[in-house]
Amino acid sequence: MHRFKDLEIWKMSRTFCSDIYEITSCFPDSEKFGLTNQLRRAAVSVPSNIAEGCSRKSNKDFSRFLEIAIGSIYEIETQLLISNDLGFIETHSLEKLLDELDSITRMTSKFKSTLK
C-alpha cells in the first residue's frame, strides 16, 4: 500500500482540481448542470481514484485505479477544448491547463508502469 498524500501525482491532481473549480466559476449559469458539472466531477475523479487505488492491496488493483484516473484526464481535456470552442475559456488559460494535464498524465503513466 502507498500513502496517497505522499504521491506527487495526487498533490498535482488535487491542485489541478482547484484550478478547474476556479475556472468553471466563470462559466455561464446555463452551464451549471452541463460543462461546469462535468469538468468538476472529472477533475475530482483524478485525485480520488489515485487515493482509492492506494488503498488496494495489489499493484494490479492500484494500476486499474490509475487507469481510471487517466481516463478522467482525457475526459477533462476534451471538455476543456469544448469549453474553449464555446468561448468559456481563453486560449492562454486553456494552454496552461492542458500543460498541467499533460504533466499529470505523463507522471501517472510513468508511475503506473513501475507497478507491473
Q: Which of the four CATH numbers 2.60.40.10, 3.40.47.10, 1.20.1440.60, 2.60.40.770 does domain 4-20+33-114 have?
A: 1.20.1440.60
**Which is nearest to 45 in space by CA: 25, 70, 63, 26?**
70
List pLDDT tens digits, range 13-53: 999 999 999 999 999 999 999 999 999 999 999 999 999 99
Cell of 10: 495526487
Residue range 82-99: average pLDDT? 97
116 pLDDT more than 90? no
**Contact (Cβ atoms closer than 8 angstroms) between residue 101 and residue 73:** yes
List pLDDT tens digits, range 55-85: 998 999 999 999 999 999 999 999 999 999 9
- Per-residue pLDDT at 1: 61
Q: Which residues, in sequence order, are CB contacts of 55 under 8 Å at separation 6+? A: 1
